[in-house]
Structure 1
Amino acid sequence: MAGGCWAKTDEAYVTLLYGDEFLLGVRVLGKSIQDTGSTKDMVVLVSDGVSDYAKKLLRADGWILWPISLLANPNQVRPKRFWGVYTKLKIFNLTRYRKVVYLDADTIVLKNIDDLFNCGRFCANLKHSERLNSGVMVVEPSETVFNDMMSKVNSSPSYTGDVFYVQWMVNETELKVIHYTLGPLKPWDWWTAWLVKPVDVWQNARVKLEESLPGTGGGRNPNQQLLLKLLFSFPYVLYYYVTTGPAFRFKSGGGLPTYSGVSATSSSIIKSNQQV
């Protein structure tokens, strides 16, 4: 796999997966690419943190898996979630391909973007003058360039941080790629729907996910279904226990048992309190 023996074309869409946290994002991204009619290869760089189940599901979705080791971010002044972002540099080493279009797992493709493969050796979305957002890049892989970058990783200055898009200034009918960049808030987190826009676009693609493996249609995860069932059934189990358990029978039994040493006054007080 690492040698690209599964490659079908000389151009590919590429993404990166550290662990299972962004698995659903990669699935939706792949579906969105396929829905545009593109026939390019789809390659996902996977680290040791990705489970065997996730790998099996990605293969079933049509992804080519390319095992890699993570590359630590030498820039210490950065958000913690960017600790492995330097691993993206390894797309320059995908020399099996003539050209690759890299897309973060939190992006979605709305229209065919195959024309990006006509870009030069390197293209990216510039933000704040000389800075760029690495969520969407076009790269011409080169072993020479890759080795040169690896030799300078620990000595070259770096910028790693959040770059927010002013998306509402763009005509939505012209959008081809959406990148959800609002920090750690992602469209698959249901509670962020009112913050992350436009979530409906991403969710519409999610519900169209096919059942590549049993129970995975619409982005469901069968490994979590049992847990969800237990969580939803807990209130009912608790209610059943409270209404049928010993404590309920004791309270509804008509009073405490009578003891010879208890006076009538005390017994009346007890029964009165119990009724209350």
Structure 2
Amino acid sequence: VYARGAMVLGQSLKNHNTSKKLVALIGPQVSEPCQSVLKRIYDEVRVVDVLDSGDTAHLALMKRPELGVTFTKLHCWTLTHYSKCVFLDADILVLSNIDELFDREELSAAPDPGWPDCFNSGVFVFCPSMETYGKLLQYCIEHGSFDGGDQGVLNGFFSNWATADISKHLPFIYNLSSIAIYTYLPAFKQYGGNAKVVHFLGKTKPWSYTFDPKAKQITGSVEKATTHPTFLLDWWSLYSSAVVPMLQEQYGDKPFHSGCVEVSEHICLIGPSESVSSHDQALQPQLSSEERKQKWEQGQADYMGMDSFDNIKKKLDTFLK
């Protein structure tokens, strides 16, 4: 399913007239039709397999098997036929041209919303180098990852990012976390219009929903909604208009689930407006105060419904009056 994200990401970069080459790193499990579509969008599609015994990552994997996905990502440093690259996770949508990132040096990245002294590894500027690649693998073997993934490894390796050089701190607009928007909504209202890259962090991705192209409506579980509706609609509009036709062409008569469906009767999670209707809220299961408290503590507040910024503001206004 991440291949869909990579297709949308590549198409969004092309739509905003990037002058740079596009490279997709994929695992060997990606289907032939998906590989064909990726090859139409990207200049280079490279299969990365850390289980290949000829790869130095294979030896590292034997000592740290829990970091398999991390080793796959680190392969970007082996793209030594390029002098400088910008890495982008597949769950990202580019909103405008970002070629200026190539003026930055390794390792440039934006702060992570969960711990701003760490950078988020969904977007970073780096210089391919087999020497750096080897050192990263060695670091993995010796230290592992403090969060179990690539972000922990990269922050451990580039440990002086937070303090050494402010020019390597990318503005948040280059890696706007979709789930961070609601933790500081006034800032999003002030600066969100300048966003260049939106990152769909969290378990629920855009492709977790379904989309009605005619009605321009997204359907799915309201409880899962942690992404600003405008960005979800942007993702689905691009996917349904540009990517789905290419997939249909490749799959031919073979069935595949595009996620685009015309629904005559459904609960609308997100339409063109930015709020959930009272009718939708009425259909949501009512939680007790204790259950709501538990969800808040787990980071699962109902940002689109009962716990929306507007509803919280109304409650505060009532108390203040």
Q: Which amino acid aligns with 1:202?
A: W
Assess, with a 3 A threshold, how the Cα gap between structure 1 residues 173 and 160 changes in structure 2: closer, same or farther: same
**In the aligned structure 2, how far is the partner of 1:91 from the partner of 1:214?**
26
Residues 1:204 and 2:237 aligned together: yes
Among 206, 222, 243, which residue is 1:187 paired with? 206
1:135 matched residue in structure 2: 122
1:89 CA drift (Å): 1.3
2:81 matched residue in structure 1: 96
Among 23, 28, 32, which residue is 2:8 paired with? 28
Assess, with a 3 A threshold, how the Cα gap between structure 1 residues 222 and 38 changes in structure 2: closer, same or farther: farther
Q: Which amino acid aligns with 1:114?
A: D
What are structure 1's unaligned runs of at least 5 residues?
1-20, 77-81, 233-276
1:224 matched residue in structure 2: 255
Among 57, 60, 71, which residue is 2:40 paired with? 60
1:176 matched residue in structure 2: 196
**In the aligned structure 2, how far is the partner of 1:151 from the partner of 1:161?**
16
Equivalent residues in 2 for 1:1-276, closer than 5 Å: 21-70=1-50, 74=64, 84-127=69-112, 128-160=115-147, 165-167=179-181, 168=185, 169-170=187-188, 171-182=191-202, 184-190=203-209, 191=220, 194-197=225-228, 198-209=231-242, 213=246, 215-216=248-249, 223-225=254-256
Q: Which amino acid aligns with 1:154?
A: I
Moved more, 130-139 or 83-92: 83-92
Percent of residue pairs bearing the same amino acid type: 23
Are the counterparts in 2 of residues 121 and 140 from structure 1 also a CA contact under 8 Å? Answer: yes
Q: Which amino acid aligns with 1:209?
A: A
Structure with higher Rg: it is: 1
Are the counterparts in 2 of residues 60 and 212 from structure 1 also a CA contact under 8 Å? Answer: no
The number of residue pairs the alignment matches comes to 201
**In the aligned structure 2, how far is the partner of 1:66 from the partner of 1:225?**
24
1:270 matched residue in structure 2: none
1:38 CA drift (Å): 0.8
Deviations 1:204-225 (A, max 9, x none): 22133157647259xx996435
Q: Which amino acid aligns with 2:6?
A: V
More helix by share: 2
Counterpart of 1:105 in 2: which secondary structure? coil
Are the counterparts in 2 of residues 110 and 176 from structure 1 also a CA contact under 8 Å? Answer: yes
Taking structure 1 as the reference length, the TM-score comes to: 0.63
Are the counterparts in 1 of residues 37 and 247 from structure 2 also a CA contact under 8 Å? Answer: no
Deviations 1:67-126 (A, max 9, x none): 2113659485xxxxx851332111111111011111111000001000001101211122
Are the counterparts in 1 of residues 2 and 90 from structure 2 also a CA contact under 8 Å? Answer: yes
Taking structure 2 as the reference length, the TM-score comes to: 0.55
Moved more, 152-161 or 112-121: 152-161
